[in-house]
């Protein structure tokens, strides 16, 4: 006769089994900003709120300079760096428990891509699927290594011509490695390669019209069987099997910097205009004030010499260290539309109107993910023109969308209808290049000045901690296994509670 097992014992065994399964799950943050660039960690984690060089620091490892974010799989952390003097790129695998370098590979190049003065030569975050890791260097191309650091394949690529330097990262989706090359001004395209051997599966070429912006620094995101890319012309979707474009939402703006984020069957993307930005537009006087201040010979015309010494801050909230002043005389040819050597009231008014039109185009936009063809007029759910960051990507978390912009201004919206919940300063000023990440109801916001502010997800701004690392942070942190991993320009920190 079989003995009956008490129900309470069965329950305990089941709970133990579930707990073991949960514990056995591979901790990972497999690409830029984690799973599908969402910025969201496992909800059951409890990463530290308070940390710094002397608080809850588990380890710190010196790296060569770069701003790739941590790419994490199990006990491996993959990162990149660059020694510019030697024209040498570094590919790192760090032991996640100790911070020791498990292996480091070197990649020498003949020349380096020209980038923005506050950017880095090693920008792209690696991507892994647990069997291979893909590194992208815009000065070289792609390299795919196995988890022990042995080369599986590579694809050499020409150094791109771009305005600020490439900022995109590769992603691994199904059996593909997908790379956004829409920022290559001479040959903008989207690539899909076989992840096993690097062979081209498909390529989508963008046809560029004369005078059209060609910019994209965004990382691809995946929705079902589609690849979604933000570029200067549009937010667009491509069939993952064939590369054919499925739909496009037109934006026709300059810098396509942020990576879109998906949630609630919507794509959220921030469209920013430098001259449409309110703080920049406020520095442009009307024509009467301009001639009062600058028209020395009182002919009601402005010549180039009369603009000498007139400067405008394109990004006043970032500070002049990151965003130097624009010398207006250098832009004279753009203002003087008829090239007669003068700026008159009509031309100046046209500039003011152009700035206003740019403002009307910008904003965070929530776009439905179904449809085909041109969905510009049919799939916009909501849009908000103000509070728009230039660089950072939005965070869709629970039922809200968060955006952090330079100056430390955090905006929170309802995800379904765009209602503004609040827009307030978090108390850590300066430029923001790292995007928000979240875990267990907490949101982490890293400023370039090195201050990581931790807030509660909620109806009001509630700052839980401000952690000053006193180092430059341009890379988005990663959260895995109750730990926060922070890449500064020359170090990787692991923070957690023993």
Residues of the chain with CATH 2.130.10.10: 28-272+362-495
Mean pLDDT is lowest, of 156-160, 193-197, 251-255, for 251-255
444 sits in which H/E element: strand 442-446
Location of structure tokens 């006990």: 75
Q: Answer for the pair 410, 426: CB distance below 8 angstroms, yes or no.
A: yes
pLDDT-derived band at 421, boundaries 50, 70, 90: very high
Alpha carbons 23 and 36: distance in angstroms, whole number: 22
Beta-sheet strand order (sheet of 127-128): 127-128, 132-137, 141-146, 151-156
Tell me the sheet residues that pair with 329. Answer: none
Alpha carbons 269 and 258: distance in angstroms, whole number: 7
- More confidently predicted of 120 and 483: 483
pLDDT-derived band at 16, boundaries 50, 70, 90: very low
- The pLDDT, as a whole number, for residue 26 is 56
142 sits in which H/E element: strand 141-146
Class of CATH domain 278-358: mainly alpha
- The pLDDT, as a whole number, for residue 276 is 76
395 is written with which tokens? 């965070």
Listed residue (12, 11, 130) closest to 71, CA to CA = 130
- pLDDT tens digits for range 438-485: 999 999 999 999 999 999 999 999 999 999 999 999 999 999 999 999
| Model confidence at 167: pLDDT above 80 | yes
Location of structure tokens 């490892």: 61
- On the 0-12 / 13-18 / 19+ scale of CB atoms within 10 A, 20 is exposed
- pLDDT tens digits for range 266-324: 999 999 877 777 778 788 888 898 989 998 899 999 999 988 888 888 777 776 666 66
486 is written with which tokens? 């922070």
| Model confidence at 25: pLDDT above 70 | no
DSSP 327: E
Residues of the chain with CATH 1.10.238: 278-358
- The pLDDT, as a whole number, for residue 323 is 65
322 is written with which tokens? 């990151």
Q: Answer for the pair 158, 137: CB distance below 8 angstroms, yes or no.
A: no
With a pLDDT cut of 70, the percent of the chain lying above it is 91
DSSP 302: B
Residue 214: HSE in the Cβ half-sphere, 13 Å Cα cutoff: 21
pLDDT-derived band at 11, boundaries 50, 70, 90: very low
Strands, E assignment, 186-294: 189-194, 200-205, 221-223, 226-230, 234-239, 245-250, 261-263, 266-271
pLDDT-derived band at 34, boundaries 50, 70, 90: very high
Task: State which of 1-10, 89-98, 334-343 shows the largest mean pLDDT.
Answer: 89-98
Mean pLDDT is lowest, of 82-96, 280-294, 370-384, for 280-294
- More confidently predicted of 138 and 227: 227
pLDDT-derived band at 6, boundaries 50, 70, 90: very low
- The pLDDT, as a whole number, for residue 327 is 85
Which CATH code, of 3.40.1800.10, 1.20.120.80, 2.130.10.10, 2.40.30.10, is assigned to 28-272+362-495? Answer: 2.130.10.10
Give helix then strand counts, H and E, for the chain. Answer: 5, 36
455 is written with which tokens? 């807030």
Instruction: Please state whether beta strands 171-173 and 176-181 pair in parallel, antiparallel, or not at all (unpaired).
Output: antiparallel
Mean pLDDT is lowest, of 217-231, 317-331, 367-381, 385-399, for 317-331
- The pLDDT, as a whole number, for residue 90 is 96
Instruction: Please state whether beta strands 266-271 and 176-181 pair in parallel, antiparallel, or not at all (unpaired).
Output: unpaired
Q: Answer for the pair 137, 107: CB distance below 8 angstroms, yes or no.
A: yes
- pLDDT tens digits for range 242-260: 999 999 999 887 678 899 9
- The pLDDT, as a whole number, for residue 201 is 98
| Mean pLDDT confidence for 10-17 | 39
- Rounded to 10 deg, the angle between the 345-361 and 287-294 helix axes is 130
CA 339 to chain CA centroid, Å, is: 38
| Model confidence at 87: pLDDT above 60 | yes
| Model confidence at 187: pLDDT above 90 | no
Query: Long-range contacts for 336-341 (Cβ within 8 Å, ≥24 apart)?
Result: 341/303, 341/304
Q: Which residues, 6+ apart, have CB-to-CB distance to 58 below 8 Å?
A: 99, 483, 494, 495, 496, 498
| Mean pLDDT confidence for 4-23 | 38
Q: How far is CA 164 from CA 105, 168, 431, in A?
A: 27, 12, 17
- On the 0-12 / 13-18 / 19+ scale of CB atoms within 10 A, 40 is buried
pLDDT-derived band at 178, boundaries 50, 70, 90: very high
Average pLDDT of the chain to the nearest whole number: 89
DSSP 48: -
Largest pairwise CA distance in the chain:
112
């Amino acid at each position: 006769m079989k003995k009956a097992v008490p129900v309470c014992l069965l329950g305990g065994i089941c709970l133990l089994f579930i707990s073991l399964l949960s514990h056995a799950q591979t901790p990972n943050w497999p690409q830029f900003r984690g799973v599908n660039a969402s910025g969201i960690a496992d909800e059951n984690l409890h990463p530290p709120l308070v940390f710094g060089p002397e608080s809850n620091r588990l380890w710190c490892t010196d790296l060569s300079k770069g701003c790739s974010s941590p790419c994490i799989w199990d006990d491996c952390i993959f990162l990149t760096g660059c020694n510019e003097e030697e024209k040498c790129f570094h590919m790192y695998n760090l032991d996640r428990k100790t911070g020791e370098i498990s292996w480091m590979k070197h990649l020498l190049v003949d020349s380096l891509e020209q980038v923005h003065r506050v950017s880095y030569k090693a920008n792209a975050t690696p991507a892994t699927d647990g069997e291979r890791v893909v590194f992208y260097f815009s000065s070289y191309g792609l390299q795919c290594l196995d988890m022990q650091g042995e080369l599986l394949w590579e694809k050499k690529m020409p150094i791109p011509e771009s305005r600020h330097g490439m900022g995109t990262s590769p992603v691994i989706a199904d059996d593909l490695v997908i790379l956004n090359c829409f920022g290559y001004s001479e040959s903008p395209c989207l690539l899909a390669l076989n992840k096993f051997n690097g062979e081209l599966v498909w390529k989508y070429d963008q046809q560029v019209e004369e005078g059209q912006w060609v910019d994209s620094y965004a990382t691809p995101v995946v929705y079902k069987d589609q690849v979604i890319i933000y570029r200067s012309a549009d937010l667009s979707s491509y069939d993952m099997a064939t590369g054919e474009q499925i739909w496009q939402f037109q934006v026709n703006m300059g810098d396509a910097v942020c990576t879109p984020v998906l949630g609630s069957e919507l794509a959220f993307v921030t469209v920013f205009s430098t001259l449409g930005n309110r703080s920049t537009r406020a520095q442009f006087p009307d024509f009467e004030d301009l001639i009062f201040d600058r028209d020395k010979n009182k002919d009601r015309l402005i010549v180039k010499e009369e603009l000498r010494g007139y400067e405008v801050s394109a990004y006043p909230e970032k500070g002049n260290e990151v965003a130097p002043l624009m010398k207006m005389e250098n832009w004279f040819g753009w203002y003087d539309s008829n090239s007669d050597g003068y700026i008159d009231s009509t031309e100046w008014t046209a500039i003011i109107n152009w700035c206003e039109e740019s403002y009307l185009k910008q904003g965070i936009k929530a776009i439905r993910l179904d449809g085909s063809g041109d969905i510009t007029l049919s799939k916009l759910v909501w849009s908000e023109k103000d509070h728009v960051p230039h660089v950072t990507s939005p965070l869709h978390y629970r039922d809200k969308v968060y955006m952090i912009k330079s100056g430390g201004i955090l905006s929170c919206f309802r995800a379904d209808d765009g209602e503004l919940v609040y827009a307030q300063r978090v108390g850590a000023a300066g430029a923001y290049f790292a995007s928000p990440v979240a875990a267990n109801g907490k949101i982490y916001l890293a400023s370039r000045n090195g201050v990581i502010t931790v807030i509660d997800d909620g109806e009001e701004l509630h700052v839980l901690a401000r952690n000053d690392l006193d180092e430059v942070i341009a890379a988005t942190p990663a959260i895995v296994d109750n730990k926060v991993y922070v890449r500064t320009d020359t170090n990787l920190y692991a923070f957690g509670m023993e």
